Amino acid sequence: MDQISTRQSLPAEPRDFGFYVDGARVPAAERAVFIRHSPAHDVPVTRIPKCTEGDLDMAVDAARRAFDDRRWSGLSGQARAAVLLKAGALIRARAEEIAYWETLENGKPIAQARGEVLGCADMYEYASGLARSLHGDSFNNLGDGMMGLVTREPVGVVGIITPWNFPFLILCERVPYILASGCTIVVKPSEMTSATSLILAQILTEAGLPDGCMNVVTGSGSTIGQAMAEHPRIDMLSFTGSTAVGRRVVEAAGRSNFKKLGLELGGKNPQVVFADADLEDAADGVAFGIAFNTGQCCVSGSRLIVERSVADRFAEMVRDKLAKAVTGDPLDEATQIGAITTEAQNRTILSYIEKGKEEGARLICGGGALDMGQGQYIAPTIFGDVTAEMVIARDEIFGPVLTILPFDTLDEAIAIANDTDYGLAASVWTKDIDKALVVTRRVQAGRFWVNCTLAGGPELPLGGFKQSGWGREAGKYGVEEYTQIKSVHIEIGKRRPWIA
């Protein structure tokens, strides 16, 4: 096969990003480095330091000083908002550069990456308003001698651990809200995709964020990630990743300082399609929900729960949609489906596809790797005749693999949708408002979509039910997560003595 055509050229040599502490880039110097290859082009693109636990201590100390001396939390909401607004503008101005590095490290289509980056700018702009409107409560009904206040205070130093599937987006669903609350931050991005977190740190400094308020330490999860979960001077940790590692983070927090935790974990998300839906719209949405970001989304709609009377016809409609999606070089503007991000994930997805075949599911399309001449690609895959016990119906595959489970009644559809340990997201497709509302009420999921899927934005919170996580990110709820509540009683006038 011919070399894939590229619009933007690949870097001549891998770029050194260093790491970021106390308002300045720190070069790798003598530290070991991790060389990241583009999963779409097989060439080295970035060199990232493998930070030591000493480096982490340095970053936590910087964040601790910045929090404790109130250089950020002591500012007015107006002053914090000004920094967040400037950051939004700088992200817009550097959107092309951020999207380029995101695509090179992650393998996602450049047009998609650009859209995500611009969406992130909007998060800073929205959160700037929240910095000004964050407030508590008051009780003026405690009698003439007493007034009560409920104030919100920032939690302190927040650690953020992110995965490789949406490196910039997931970070930006947290950072502006955390900064709006007045906290300071230490980030550990996935070792596969650190570049754009480091660009963000520079942008925040340029936007006027005081030194030490945003630090980025790079390295592996088992060393730096684990050390963050155990760190006694980190007050709260926002972890996004697999449920298995989430469990380890909970144990580590319990062993150390009982830090507050936010957890965004896995999903096995249902797409419930009724026969009365606009099937054309639903087929497009289901195809998008499983193939967007090559199915490497915590909220991918990976279980199609479809009314039996239309199941075969609908499966063909989704198959035909997927056949038209453009898979290819993610640097090409026309590409809709890019490469699989990591070698390990590529192996995992392919092994689940083989498992589906062994389990006796009916392969409707896809079924293996796609040879694009370079890089690692997998064809969007649909399995029919799937039963609830099959591994492919239960495990989060985190790839473009759709399993179809038919239903006959509304109650059955809801039971199948809830038959999972996860509860991250769900969609329902129907033109019957009653059915839509019943399903929305009864399916356990933190995010719900009616006649759409994967919709998002800065206003609405994110988070999961059941084993998909704890807490919420984004929106006003996202700012409040990073605050703790203090209740204040204020006596008015002369105290009624206890001792006469």
Catalytic residue numbers read: 264
Residue among 324, 291, 379, 302 nearest 109 (CA): 291
Residue 242 sits in the site that holds ligand NAD (CB under 6 A): yes
Q: Percent helix, strand, coil in the chain (nearest 5)?
A: 40, 20, 40
Q: How far is the CB of 224 from ligand NAD (least distance, A)?
A: 8
Query: By CB under 6 A, is residue 266 in contact with ligand NAD?
Result: yes
Q: How far is the CB of 265 from ligand NAD (least distance, A)?
A: 5
Residues of this chain, 451-470, that bind ligand NAD according to CB under 6 A = 464, 469
- By CB under 6 A, what part of segment 282-321 binds ligand NAD? 298
59: helix, strand or coil: helix
Whose Cβ is closer to ligand NAD: residue 265's or residue 283's?
Answer: 265
Residues in the interface with ligand NAD (CB under 6 A) total 31
Interface with ligand NAD, residue 249, by CB under 6 A: yes
Identity of the residue, 41 or 447, whose beta carbon is nearer to ligand NAD in the bound complex: 447
Q: How far is the CB of 227 from ligand NAD (least distance, A)?
A: 8
Find the binder of ligand NAD among 124, 164, 274, 383 (CB under 6 A): 164
**What is the residue whose two structure tokens read 């759709």?**
402
Q: How far apart are CA 9 and CA 110, in angstroms?
A: 13
Member of 59, 117, 161, 261 binding ligand NAD (CB under 6 A): 161
Task: Give the containing element (helix H, strand E) for 404.
Answer: strand 401-407
Token pair listed for 427:
């969609």
Decide whether 26 or 298 has the Cβ nearer to ligand NAD.
Answer: 298
Length of the chain: 500
Concatenated DSSP letters of 89-148:
HHHHHTHHHHHHHHHHHH---HHHHHHHHHHHHHHHHHHHHHHHH---EEE--S-TTEEE
Which DSSP string do the residues of 355-399 spell out, in sequence order?
A: HHHHTTPEEEE--SEE--SSS-EE--EEEES--TTSHHHHS---S
Q: And the tokens for 456?
A: 């998002």
Nearer to ligand NAD, 191 or 480 (CB): 191
3-state secondary structure of 188: strand
User: Which range, of 60-68, 74-82, 130-138, 240-248, touches ligand NAD by CB under 6 A?
Assistant: 240-248
Binding to ligand NAD, residues 34-73 (CB under 6 A): none
DSSP letter (8 states) at residue 182: T
Q: Which of 46, 106, 197, 240 binds ligand NAD (CB under 6 A)?
A: 240
> Least distance (Å) from ligand NAD to the CB of residue 236?
14
CB nearer ligand NAD, residue 151 or residue 223: 223
Q: Does 241 bind ligand NAD (CB under 6 A)?
A: yes
Shortest Cβ 387–ligand NAD spacing (Å): 23
Between β-strands 270-273 and 303-307, what pairing exists: parallel, antiparallel or unpaired? parallel
Site for ligand NAD in 168-187 (CB under 6 A): 170
Looking at beta carbons only, is 374 or 467 nearer to ligand NAD?
A: 467
Within positions 371 to 430, which residues make up the interface with ligand NAD, using CB under 6 A? 396, 398, 424
Nearer to ligand NAD, 15 or 248 (CB): 248
350 binds ligand NAD (CB under 6 A): no
Taking Cα atoms as reference points, which of 228, 246, 80, 242 lies closest to residue 158?
228
Least distance from ligand NAD to the Cβ atom of residue 241, Å: 3
Examine residue 481 and tell whether it contacts ligand NAD (CB under 6 A). no
Nearest CA-CA partner of 177 in 478, 500, 490, 406: 478
Nearer to ligand NAD, 31 or 94 (CB): 31
Question: Which residue in the shown chain puts its C-beta closest to ligand NAD?
Answer: 221
132 counts as binding ligand NAD under rule CB under 6 A: no
Contact flag: residue 449 with ligand NAD (CB under 6 A)? no
Look at residues 191, 185, 164, 203 and name the one whose alpha carbon lies nearest to residue 84. Answer: 203
Nearer to ligand NAD, 151 or 243 (CB): 243
DSSP string across 434-495? HHHHHHHHHS--SEEEES--S---SSS-B--EETTEES-BSHHHHHHHTEEEEEEEEE-SS-
d(CA 89, CA 197): 17
Least distance between ligand NAD and beta carbon 219 (Å): 8
C-alpha distances out from residue 376 to 145, 339, 341, Å: 71, 6, 8
The binding track of 208-227 with respect to ligand NAD, each residue x by CB under 6 A or -, is ------------xxx--xx-
Query: Which residue(s) pair with 303 in the sheet?
Result: 270, 403
Output the smallest distance, CB 170 to ligand NAD, in A: 6
Task: Enumerate binding residues for ligand NAD (CB under 6 A).
Answer: 161-165, 170, 188, 190-191, 220-222, 225-226, 229, 240-242, 245, 248-249, 264-267, 298, 396, 398, 424, 464, 469
